[in-house]
């Protein structure tokens, strides 16, 4: 409320025909008649035909309304082009007009959900319609499921703004028909390389809910640390970074509940059989191999890992599968999503030279290859994973099918997460008949461009470029980041990941997720790496990057994402700045080209 005293000053500076605000992600279809602003009552009541027994709708509207009232939001960036710096029309029309406006002010949000029991699982209908008409005192929302209705709330809370005089307004009339292009819209958080606290995970979920992302892919552990409490093997958390850097069962269930309340699924990933050392080695040292080897990037022929520290599951040792089954089943009981990510990336052959079981297995039959070994894993582990329930859906990284060391025969019902070679691998996987989650590192890896994290690196010890025509590590090179450079929001937003796919191939794309590997990220910077870039992905997979004529709308997205960044910060999500604030306040002044069609 204190803030509202300052808004009138701001309002006269910057606004506004921007009552017609520009929510992110842009709805599939939004139409306005332009009859001007309509007032809101001091309290807007939810009237829902029914609610879930855990009050998804009531809690969702409560959150939205509290945000609307406490933020008294004024769009930070107006939709371009915008005509003039007009202040809001002041209400000089006298009592009769005042009375009229009060009469028709918005007092209710009427929500009708047709299938109240629809569970939050892959493919659930997330569509909604939202309508505010000139003569109605209600916002009318219709949605097949509560999950669609939640999306309507996050749109509505962006449409309702301050009138600059202590009141709230919404532009009338407005009609929205909205639904996502893709059912899988995610970000990936990595709590294995560095710990990320529960509160910071909640912060990501807040940003996701506002941008309608619906999957948190949680890469929980890695070779470096094991943060999850496992009752079957309490010793596993001896490999957490500290006794404070642990996820108890309650913590994990709380994340699931917090996410569910916002329409977000949580899909856990336990990366196996690669990237495995911490935790497992406490249970049975024989089930992991090469854990104490030198990772050997400096003598590449001997390397046992692509980053420190090494460790992979022993695929031939029988005991491995008992531990895997128990851990996997315990975690499956905690995460209600039908989908579970079981890793399967980056197997390093040399690691297995440290395993007695594997070397003997190779010696038994000299025709055996590492591909046979990968197949052994698939044949022995997948039945365990699949066995958890008949509705279980597995995800694996594409490596198990496409890398040099790959299995021969991976069931086609496993969803592949793509990360290498952009369009080429998307095309290969969909051609083979796999459903695909797009996470192409050249476009969507949010950790790229930070330089190398491995220490003792002489390549940084270069004072000048001895020869300008031969780039080195520091001059014209990649600066030590394998996937350099940094992926800007425009890089993400402009990614046409269905380019050149046949219709049959394109149908295999279930969506996209932006990973943030956490070697150089923890609570301090996790939010600024995700946001607002994840919002560019969010719109790409919700309503796409093109307008009705099929032209790229990146230029139009600019003001939307600049406003949304301010909105995230106002909502407590520590999103990084994208431009000097001047660019946000003066649309198009910071465009690279005057020609607005240059991005195609
Ligand atoms: C968008 O909605 C308006 C109003 O309901 C309708 O007239 C128009 O045809 C819709 N446009 C598209 C592309 O669906
Ligand atoms: C909702 O009700 C169903 C059926 O009674 C029950 O199985 C479920 O646990 C309840 N959910 C919550 C969150 O209370
Ligand atoms: C590991 O073992 C394989 C199979 O015996 C062999 O071809 C390879 O050279 C070994 N790697 C190293 C680094 O010794
Ligand atoms: C694993 O178990 C199978 C049968 O249960 C047995 O034939 C095999 O020798 C065992 N392998 C190892 C490496 O212990
Ligand atoms: C699958 O589960 C059943 C019963 O729960 C069990 O008997 C069977 O051994 C399991 N199979 C695998 C491969 O884990
Ligand atoms: C798509 O296919 C066309 C025609 O074969 C080709 O010219 C173009 O380079 C392809 N685009 C990409 C991005 O591969
Ligand atoms: C703007 O850029 C587009 C794409 O490069 C081009 O087709 C068009 O001719 C340009 N318009 C002008 C006025 O230069």
Chain position carrying tokens 């909105």: 567
Helix (H, G, I), strand (E, B) or coil at 106: strand
Over residues 285-323, the pLDDT tens digits come to 999 999 999 999 999 999 999 999 999 999 999 999 999
Q: Determine how many CB atoms are found less than 10 A away from the CB of residue 301.
A: 6
Rg (CA), the chain: 26
Q: Is 597 in the pocket of ligand 7 (CB under 6 A)?
A: yes
Between strands 138-143 and 29-48, the pairing is unpaired
User: Residue 468: what pLDDT?
Assistant: 80
Distance 172 CA to ligand 1 centre (A): 16
CA distances from 69 to 2, 43, 65, 148, 584 (A): 12, 9, 6, 23, 24
At 34 the pLDDT is 84
pLDDT the model gives residue 149: 98
Angle at 163 (CA atoms; ends 157, 168), nearest 5 degrees? 45
Ligand 4 centroid–CA 149 distance in Å is 53
Annotate 310-343 with three-state secondary structure.
CCEECCCCCHHHHHHHHHHHHHHHHCCCCEEEEE
Work out whether strand 288-289 and strand 312-313 pair parallel, antiparallel, or are unpaired: antiparallel
pLDDT value for 412: 98
CATH of domain 184-447+509-518+527-545: 3.20.20.80
Q: Is the CB of 598 under 6 A from ligand 7?
A: yes
Q: How far is the CA of 359 from the centre of ligand 3 (A)?
A: 9
Q: What's the burial of 287, exposed, middle or buried (CB within 10 Å: 0-12/13-18/19+)?
A: buried
Give the containing element (helix H, strand E) for 437: strand 436-438
Q: Looking at residue 599, what is its pLDDT?
A: 92
Three-class DSSP category at 537 = helix
- For the chain, which ranges sit under pLDDT 70? 1-19, 79-103
Contact 240, 226 (CB under 8 A): yes
Specify the residue with its C-alpha closest to ligand 1, atom 10.
29
Query: 3-84+98-178: which CATH topology?
Result: Chitobiase; domain 2 (3.30.379)
- Domain limits of the chain? 3-84+98-178, 184-447+509-518+527-545
Structure tokens at 239: 């490999």
**Location of structure tokens 């197949």:** 375
CA 265 to chain centre: 11
Task: Give the pLDDT confidence of 171-207 residue by residue, as tens digits.
Answer: 889 999 999 999 999 999 999 999 999 999 999 999 9
Catalytic residue list: 346
């Amino acid at each position: 409320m204190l803030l509202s005293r300052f808004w009138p000053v701001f309002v006269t500076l910057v606004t506004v025909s921007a009552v017609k605000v520009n929510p992110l992600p842009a709805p599939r279809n939004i139409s306005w008649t332009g009859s001007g602003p309509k007032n809101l009552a001091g309290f807007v009541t939810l009237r829902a035909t029914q609610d879930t027994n855990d009050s998804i709708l009531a809690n969702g509207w409560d959150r939205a309304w509290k945000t609307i009232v406490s933020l008294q939001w004024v769009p930070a960036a107006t939709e371009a082009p915008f005509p003039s710096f007009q202040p809001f029309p002041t209400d000089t029309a006298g009592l009769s007009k005042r009375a009229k406006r009060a009469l028709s002010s918005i007092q209710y949000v009427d929500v009708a959900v047709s299938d109240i029991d629809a569970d939050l699982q892959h493919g659930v209908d997330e569509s909604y319609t939202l309508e505010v008409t000139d003569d109605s005192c209600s916002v009318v929302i219709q949605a097949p499921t509560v999950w669609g209705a939640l999306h309507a709330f996050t749109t509505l809370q962006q449409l309702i703004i301050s009138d600059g005089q202590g009141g709230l307004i919404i532009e009338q009339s407005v009609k929205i028909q909205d639904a996502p292009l893709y059912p899988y819209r995610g970000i990936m958080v990595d709590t294995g390389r560095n710990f990320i606290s529960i509160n910071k995970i909640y912060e990501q979920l807040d940003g996701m809910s506002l941008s309608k992302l619906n999957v948190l892919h949680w890469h929980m552990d890695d070779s470096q640390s094991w943060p999850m409490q496992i009752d079957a093997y309490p010793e596993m958390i001896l490999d957490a970074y500290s006794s404070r850097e642990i996820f108890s069962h309650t913590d994990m269930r709380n994340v699931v509940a917090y996410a569910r309340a916002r329409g977000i699924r949580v899909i856990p990933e336990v990366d196996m059989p690669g990237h495995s050392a911490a935790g497992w080695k406490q249970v049975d040292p024989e089930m992991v191999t090469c854990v104490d080897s030198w990772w050997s990037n400096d003598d590449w022929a001997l390397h046992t890992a692509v980053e420190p520290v090494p460790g992979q599951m022993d695929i031939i040792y029988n005991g491995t599968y008992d531990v895997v089954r128990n851990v996997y089943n315990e975690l499956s009981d905690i995460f209600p999503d039908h989908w579970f990510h079981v890793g399967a990336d980056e197997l390093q052959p040399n690691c297995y030279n440290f395993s007695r079981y594997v070397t003997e297995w190779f010696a038994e039959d000299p025709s055996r290859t590492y591909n046979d070994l990968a197949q052994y894993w698939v044949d022995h582990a997948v039945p365990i994973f699949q066995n958890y329930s008949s509705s279980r859906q597995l995800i694996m990284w594409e490596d198990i099918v496409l890398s040099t060391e790959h299995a021969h025969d991976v069931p086609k019902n496993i969803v592949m997460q793509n990360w290498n070679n952009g369009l080429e691998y998307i095309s290969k996987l969909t051609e083979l008949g796999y459903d695909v989650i797009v996470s192409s590192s050249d476009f969507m890896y949010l950790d790229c461009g930070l330089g190398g994290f491995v220490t003792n690196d002489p390549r940084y010890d270069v004072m000048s470029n001895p020869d300008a025509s031969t780039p080195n590590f520091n001059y014209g090179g990649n600066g030590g980041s394998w996937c350099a450079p940094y992926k800007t929001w425009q890089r993400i937003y402009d990614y046409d990941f269905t380019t050149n796919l046949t219709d049959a191939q394109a149908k295999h794309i279930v969506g996209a997720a932006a990973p943030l590997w956490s070697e150089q990220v923890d609570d301090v910077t996790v939010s600024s790496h995700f946001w607002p870039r994840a919002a560019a992905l969010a719109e790409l997979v919700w309503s796409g990057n093109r307008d009705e004529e099929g032209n790229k709308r990146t230029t139009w997205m600019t003001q939307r994402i600049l406003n949304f960044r301010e909105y995230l910060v106002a909502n407590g999500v520590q999103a990084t700045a994208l431009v000097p604030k001047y660019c946000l306040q003066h649309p198009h002044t910071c465009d690279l080209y005057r020609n607005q069609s240059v991005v195609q």
